[in-house]
Chain A
C-alpha cells in the first residue's frame, strides 16, 4: 500500500514538462458552414471550433439536438481512426445562430472539419464559407444523409456557392444549377480538398442503398376508359383549371381508372416546381438522382386507413406526410368517406393555403402541400344508390350518414362534384373512337397557356385559385348571362361561395373552348358540374 515512491529524475521531468504556452499551436480556431434544415427550408449555420486549456473533450453549444451532441463520439473515433492524435485540450464547438434548432447527423462533417482546422491539420481559413454536409462513420467514411438537395438550395439562396457532400449524395446535389458541389468519400478526402494532408484510409466509398425510390404510380391512358363521357369531360376541366374533383358513383363505374388518368393530363412541372418536388423527395429518402429533375407531377393514392399524422407528416423532424409527397401533383383519396374524420378535416389547411403548419413537441415546421385533390366515393354504403336506382338497400338515414362523413366545409372547397352512372352495354360496344390522353393533354396545355397569360404578374396562376370577385369584375357578366345562377342563388340552391366556384369552372370551360371570356352557356354548364349545389 504505502510502498515508497521510486525516485524521480527531476531534471529530466523538468525538461519534458509541457508549459501550456508552448503547447498551444499558433492557431487554435476553425470555422466552416453547414445548413440546419427544417422542412425543406434551411438556415446556414456557422460552425466555429476553438481549442483551449481545460480537460480534454468536445463541447458542442448552440442549441444542438441529441443527435448533434452524439456526433462528438463519432468525430473522436473517426479522427483517431484516420491516425490523427488530437491535442489533449478542450475543444469547444459553437453552432450559430444559437436560436436555430440543429437536428440530425448532417453536421458531423462540418464539425470535424472545424475541429481539424482548429487543431492545425487544415490550412487556416480554407474551410470558411464552404458548406459541409455529411454524417461520419467511426472509420472516417462519410455516410449519405437525407435532405442534401434542399440543404444545397438553402445554401445557394444564402449566398454560398461551394459545397462538400457525401460521395453518395453528389449526384443528387448536382441537380441544383449554380452550385459547385464536390463529393467526399471519407474525412481524409474532405481534408485533402481543403489543402490538409491526411493519408487516405483506402476504404471503399459508401453507396446509396438500392431501391430507395418508390415504384412509379399507376398512370392510365384515357383511351382505356369505357363510356363515361361526362366524367371524361369533368376530368379534362379539372386538369385544365386545377380544380379539385369529387366523383360519386357505383362500384365499377371507373372512378379509380379515371383518377389514374389525371397525372397524364397535367402539363409537366416547371423548373421551380420540379425543384420543390425533388427537394421533398430528398427529405423523404425516395429520390432517385439518376432520374434527373423529374418533371412529372406526383400522384399519391393513400389507403383509407392512413392516420392523420401520416398524412400531414412532421411526426419526427425531417419527416414528411402524404400531403407533401403529393405537392404540385395529385392526391387521390379513393373511398373518401371511409377515411377517418380527422384525416378529412386535416385536408382543410392544405386545400386553403397549400401548406401544413406543424407544431410538435420537437419544434415547428412548415411543409409545402399544394396538390390537386381528387375524391372518389360511393353514393351510399351499399354502393347502388345512384340515379334513382331501385337496387339500393340502404335506409335514408344510412345514406345521409354516409354523405355526412364528407363535411360541408370540405365539400365547399371542391369545385367539381360529379355523379357517375353505372356503365350500360351500349357504352362497351360504342364504335366511335375514344380520345386518348395525348389529345386531351394538348387541349389542357392550351388552356393552361391562356391562364398563364391572363394571370401573369398576379399571385395566383390557375382558375381554381383565382378569387371570384376578380373574375366577376374582369368578365363583367351581363344580367342575362348570369340569370340561371342568380335564380339558383335566390332559391338557396347555391351559396355565394358556390356562385364563385361556378364562375371559376365557367372560366376554365371558356379556356378549353378557346373563348376569351366565359358566356352564359359556360356558366350553365359549370352549374351542372356542381350537382351538390343544385340537388
Chain B
C-alpha cells in the first residue's frame, strides 16, 4: 500500500467517522492554488476544517506528531479562503486534526478538536 492510497484510505475512514458522529460533510479535498483541505464539515453551527494524517505504523512516530505549527497555519489560511468563497454567513469555524494509525490492519483514530 503506497502512501497515496494510505492517505486516501485514511481520509475515507475519517469521513465515515465524522458522518457517524452526525457531522454534515460540506466538502472533500477542497483545493485551491495554495493547497488542499482534506475535509470541511459542519458540527452543529460550527464549520470545522479537518486535516487528516495517516500513518501505516508508529515507527516514524504518531501521525499527530507530524502536524506542525506551520502546517496548521497553512490550514488556517486555506480555511479563510474557503470561507471567502462561501455565499452564506458562517458564524463560527475551527480547525480539527484527525490522526489515523494503522494498527494490524485496523485504523486507530485520534481526533483533536480545536488544534493549536
A473 at the interface (CB under 8 A from B): no
Known contacts A6-B5, A6-B9, A16-B107; A88 and B62 CB within 8 A of each other: yes
B99-A20 in contact (CB<8A): no
B116 at the interface (CB under 8 A from A): yes
Which chain B residue has the least Cβ–Cβ distance from A23?
B110
Question: When the two chains form the complex, which single residue of B4, B8, B9, B112 contacts A53, counting CB atoms closer than 8 Å?
Answer: B112
A8 at the interface (CB under 8 A from B): yes
Kindly state the separation between the CA atoms of A14 and B20 in the bound complex, as whole angstroms: 9
Kindly state the separation between the CA atoms of A6 and B9 in the bound complex, as whole angstroms: 6
B16-A18 in contact (CB<8A): no
Give min CB distance, A357 to chain B, whole Å: 40
B97 at the interface (CB under 8 A from A): yes
B106 at the interface (CB under 8 A from A): yes
B115-A13 in contact (CB<8A): no
Kindly state the separation between the CA atoms of A5 and B14 in the bound complex, as whole angstroms: 12
B16-A8 in contact (CB<8A): yes
Question: When the two chains form the complex, which single residue of A3, A14, A88 contacts B64, counting CB atoms closer than 8 Å?
Answer: A88
Residues of B within 8 A of A10 (CB): 16, 20
Give min CB distance, A254 to chain B, whole Å: 69
Which chain A residue has the least Cβ–Cβ distance from B12?
A5
| Contacting residues of chain B (32-87) with chain A, CB-CB under 8 angstroms | 62, 64-65, 67, 72
Kindly state the separation between the CA atoms of A3 and B2 in the bound complex, as whole angstroms: 11
B113-A53 in contact (CB<8A): yes
Question: When the two chains form the complex, which single residue of A5, A6, A18, A53 contacts B109, counting CB atoms closer than 8 Å?
Answer: A18
Give min CB distance, B115 to chain A, whole Å: 5
The 8 A CB mask of A1-29 against B (1 = contact, 0 = none) is 10111101110111011101001000000
Residues of A within 8 A of B67 (CB): 55
Which chain A residue has the least Cβ–Cβ distance from B5?
A3
Kindly state the separation between the CA atoms of A488 and B23 in the bound complex, as whole angstroms: 100
Kindly state the separation between the CA atoms of A18 and B110 in the bound complex, as whole angstroms: 6
Kindly state the separation between the CA atoms of A290 and B14 in the bound complex, as whole angstroms: 63
B-side interface residues, number (CB < 8 Å):
28
Kindly state the separation between the CA atoms of A53 and B96 in the bound complex, as whole angstroms: 12
A363 at the interface (CB under 8 A from B): no
B115-A17 in contact (CB<8A): no
Residues of A within 8 A of B99 (CB): 88
A387 at the interface (CB under 8 A from B): no
Kindly state the separation between the CA atoms of A513 and B75 in the bound complex, as whole angstroms: 87
| Contacting residues of chain A (333-347) with chain B, CB-CB under 8 angstroms | none
Residues of B within 8 A of A13 (CB): 13, 16-17, 106-107, 109
B62-A9 in contact (CB<8A): no
Kindly state the separation between the CA atoms of A165 and B19 in the bound complex, as whole angstroms: 53
Residues of B within 8 A of A12 (CB): 106-107
Which chain B residue has the least Cβ–Cβ distance from A19?
B111
Question: When the two chains form the complex, which single residue of B17, B62, B116 contacts A56, counting CB atoms closer than 8 Å?
Answer: B62
The 8 A CB mask of A43-61 against B (1 = contact, 0 = none) is 0000000000111110000
Kindly state the separation between the CA atoms of A264 and B80 in the bound complex, as whole angstroms: 78
Residues of B within 8 A of A57 (CB): 65
A54-B17 in contact (CB<8A): no
Residues of B within 8 A of A17 (CB): 17, 107-109, 111
Kindly state the separation between the CA atoms of A10 and B5 in the bound complex, as whole angstroms: 17
Give min CB distance, A69 to chain B, whole Å: 15
Which chain A residue has the least Cβ–Cβ distance from B13?
A8
Kindly state the separation between the CA atoms of A388 and B53 in the bound complex, as whole angstroms: 92
Kindly state the separation between the CA atoms of A17 and B17 in the bound complex, as whole angstroms: 9
A8-B12 in contact (CB<8A): yes
Residues of A within 8 A of B108 (CB): 16-18
A54-B115 in contact (CB<8A): yes
Kindly state the separation between the CA atoms of A1 and B107 in the bound complex, as whole angstroms: 22
Which of B5, B67, B99, B107 is packed against the most chain A CB atoms within 10 Å?
Answer: B107
B97-A55 in contact (CB<8A): yes
Which of A1, A3, A17 is packed against the most chain B CB atoms within 10 Å?
Answer: A17
Residues of B within 8 A of A9 (CB): 106
Residues of B within 8 A of A8 (CB): 9, 12-13, 16, 107
Question: When the two chains form the complex, which single residue of A3, A6, A20, A55 contacts B115, counting CB atoms closer than 8 Å?
Answer: A55
Kindly state the separation between the CA atoms of A10 and B97 in the bound complex, as whole angstroms: 19
Which chain A residue has the least Cβ–Cβ distance from B67?
A55
Residues of B within 8 A of A1 (CB): 4
Kindly state the separation between the CA atoms of A4 and B9 in the bound complex, as whole angstroms: 9
Kindly state the separation between the CA atoms of A12 and B100 in the bound complex, as whole angstroms: 13
Which of B4, B65, B99, B110 is packed against the most chain A CB atoms within 10 Å?
Answer: B110
Known: A8-B12, A12-B107, A55-B67. 13 other contacts (CB 8 A): A3-B8, A5-B12, A16-B103, A16-B108, A17-B108, A17-B109, A18-B110, A20-B111, A54-B112, A54-B115, A55-B112, A57-B65, A88-B62
Interface set of B (CB-CB < 8 Å, partner A): 4-5, 8-9, 11-13, 16-17, 20, 62, 64-65, 67, 72, 97, 99, 103, 106-113, 115-116
Interface set of A (CB-CB < 8 Å, partner B): 1, 3-6, 8-10, 12-14, 16-18, 20, 23, 53-57, 88
| CB-CB nearest 8 A-B residue pairs | A5-B12, A88-B62, A17-B109, A5-B8, A56-B65, A8-B13, A13-B107, A56-B64
7 pairs, A vs B, C-beta closer than 8 Å: A3-B8, A14-B17, A16-B106, A17-B108, A17-B109, A53-B113, A88-B64
